[in-house]
Amino acid sequence: MTIRVLIADDQALLRATFRVLIDSCDDLEVVGEATDGQQAITLACLHRPDVLLMDIRMPGTDGLAATAAICARPELQATRVLILTTFQTDEHVAQALRLGASGFLGKSTTADAFLDGIRTVASGDALLSPAATRSLITRFLSTAAPSSGAFDPGQFDSLTPREREVLALVAEGRSNDEIADALFLSPLTVRTHVQRAKTKTAARDRAQLVAFAYQSGLVHPAR
């Protein structure tokens, strides 16, 4: 199945570069381009893309406001927002994750990593490197901040001890393979536990699940 991508960036050269890369792949397709946040919202509602590449700093309605609006719309529940940024530790990126974004890509990333990142987010996984998870999640998502969706800490009561154990390692930035090695489980079993935790907490994706884990107090930021 072809992954449909919407690009939102105010720089024409970058949009053109992204389009060339995406359209060079048989499994990816650009369905539209937006030059600001408001246009990104409009085109997202029109095209219902699988992935929306969102620049944070755009004139008028910026990427944060657009991310909040898009993630709050029930009809766009299946659209994954992937943040484009120059700095992986930018606090604005953490705020975007709070608002429902599924991860981020550095603008200096390689072409292969860029394309793989789109596929990763489209599959329902979060695009958060271990370093990003530790620096962003622990530093920002654990602090009090407005959230796009109401989070009920009681949602974690339904998690099994094993699901809590897996989630704690996810929140440390470990991959499914690393968690499998640590807990002597298969990667498939780990993925199943993560999926069940997402379902029970009504998390959009892995990124929001990690945010909820810190907000609930299930895990705590490193001191």
pLDDT of residue 106: 78
What is the token pair recorded at 80? 């994954």
Question: What are the CA-CA distances from residue 97 to residues 56, 77, 168, 181 (Å)?
Answer: 12, 15, 18, 28
pLDDT of residue 146: 44
Quote the pTM value. Answer: 0.69
Question: Does residue 170 or residue 67 have the better pLDDT?
Answer: 67
Among residues 143, 147, 163, the alpha carbon closest in space to that of 217 is found at: 143
Cβ neighbours, 10 Å, residue 161: 7
* Strand-pair partners of 33: 7
Express each pLDDT in 105-164 by its tens digit.
Answer: 877 788 988 898 899 888 877 666 555 555 555 555 545 444 444 556 667 788 999 999
Query: Could you tell me the domains of the chain?
Result: 3-127 (3.40.50.2300), 153-216 (1.10.10.10)
Express each pLDDT in 13-63 by its tens digit.
Answer: 999 999 999 999 999 999 999 999 999 999 999 999 999 999 988 988 999
Long-range CB pairs of 19-23, under 8 A, 24+ apart, other chains included? 21/111, 21/114, 21/115, 22/115, 22/118
Q: What is the CA radius of gyration of the chain?
A: 17
